[in-house]
Homo-oligomer: A and B are copies of this chain.
């Protein structure tokens, strides 16, 4: 039987996802929101039987066996670790957490409960175009991989209200939202991981027509980063949210014998002996959106926060989860095979390690090593350089009890004390 689902989050992605979950046969039993009002609104709109603003109230429900953590990234680790501890399967949205230290805690929890499913929502792995690109690369279509050239153009990711997407301390920004998918997809298709990275991040739009008060936007809206992979390949990626007019994503992998390119959901290729480019997979028929019975009114924001390739990928990951549970008469009540290519928490940690290094590089203006740590103490020097908080897991209770007063992300280097909610505007305003 399919597990009952508890959803953490009240954003537009949740509005797109819940109908799809139901279409796949899942029961959505409960929804958590940061405020009771937000939770109630979504519960009413999507007809979810239970809503709350207390994390435990979802996690402790007997009818919830699988949780979808689709809320702001600074809460991912706390909820995921607690959920696994209570015995729930976890799908966590990208980026896995705020920084590698947080994700490492998630990794340790996942390792401690191997009978539970724990995956990150890197859905590009499940898009046919990327699956076929991986297969073609493994079969030597391009020969030795030399260059990966990635470009993502999209419109602004900032909504009409100040929210976590505006704040880099809460995990917002195009590097975490889009770059995380790219970093994962590149390592998925090439089988190589980044050893050194260079990054240039910028926040050009610090205010908008609607966000122009004392809170400023300080999450990155432009990021160019380069990676050297452990197999010697070079990756260059441009993430640009200043290009109005739709989402454009192209991932080109070049090698000694030819090249492959995923544009949108389709795969193209050309070897040095081909006269012209070949269409290797036509992704136009891969759209699963119709299954979600989506209200098209909600699609504008979803398209900017979760553009088509990522939404389609997430849907396919959900399909894989269904298969894992539906055919699950294995050891743990689910089969590993359907989700065997999903991004694990370890994969999420690697992605987070790259993100951290790109952020460091953008500040230090130097290439930075990518360090994937196995011990929390290894990360202390990195955390100090990142100026990010070592979030105390015990803060989860405070979070559950009083979500609007939960401890804030720690201050940047220039500030010496943690800021309370009322001081946040100052901390954002002085970031740049």
Contacts and interface: CB of A to CB of B under 8 A. Distances in A.
Interface stretch (A235-243, A375-383, A420-428): A235-243
Given A151-B151, A365-B367, A226 B240 contact: no
A230 to B, nearest CB: 16
A268 B271 CA distance: 31
A242 B254 contact: yes
Interface string A165-206: 000000000000000000000000000000000101010110
A360 to B, nearest CB: 14
Number of copies: 2
Nearest to A255: B242
A234 B367 contact: no
A200 B232 CA distance: 13
A270 to B, nearest CB: 5
A288 to B, nearest CB: 26
A244 B272 contact: yes
A277 interface: yes
A259 B234 contact: no
Contacts of A238: 149, 151, 236, 238
A252 B259 contact: no
A153 interface: yes
B258 A244 contact: yes
A384 interface: no
A147 interface: yes
A304 to B, nearest CB: 13
Most chain B CB within a 10 A radius of its CB, from A198, A258, A270, A271: A198
By secondary structure, the A interface counts as: strand
Contacts of A276: 245
B256 A234 contact: no
A252 B153 contact: yes
A242 B146 contact: yes
A391 B339 CA distance: 63
Interface residues of A, number: 36
A147 B204 contact: yes
B259 A202 contact: no
A204 B236 contact: no
Contacts of A242: 146-147, 254-255, 259
Contacts of A204: 146-147, 256
Contact of A240 (B147, B243, B245, B274): B147
Contacts of A255: 242
A35 interface: no
A366 interface: yes
A224 interface: yes
Nearest to A366: B366
Contacts of A270: 244-245
A256 B206 CA distance: 11
A275 to B, nearest CB: 9
A16 to B, nearest CB: 23
Given A242-B259, A254-B242, A366-B365, A234 B200 contact: yes
Contacts of A205: 256
Interface string A135-159: 0000000000011010101000000
B245 A277 contact: yes
A222 interface: yes
Given A198-B198, A365-B366, A365-B367, 8 more contacts: A146-B222, A147-B222, A151-B238, A236-B236, A238-B238, A243-B252, A245-B274, A245-B276
Interface of A: 146-147, 149, 151, 153, 198, 200, 202, 204-205, 222, 224, 226, 234, 236, 238, 240, 242-245, 252, 254-256, 258-259, 270-272, 274, 276-277, 365-367
12 contacts: A146-B202, A147-B204, A149-B151, A149-B153, A151-B238, A200-B226, A205-B256, A222-B234, A224-B236, A240-B252, A243-B252, A244-B270
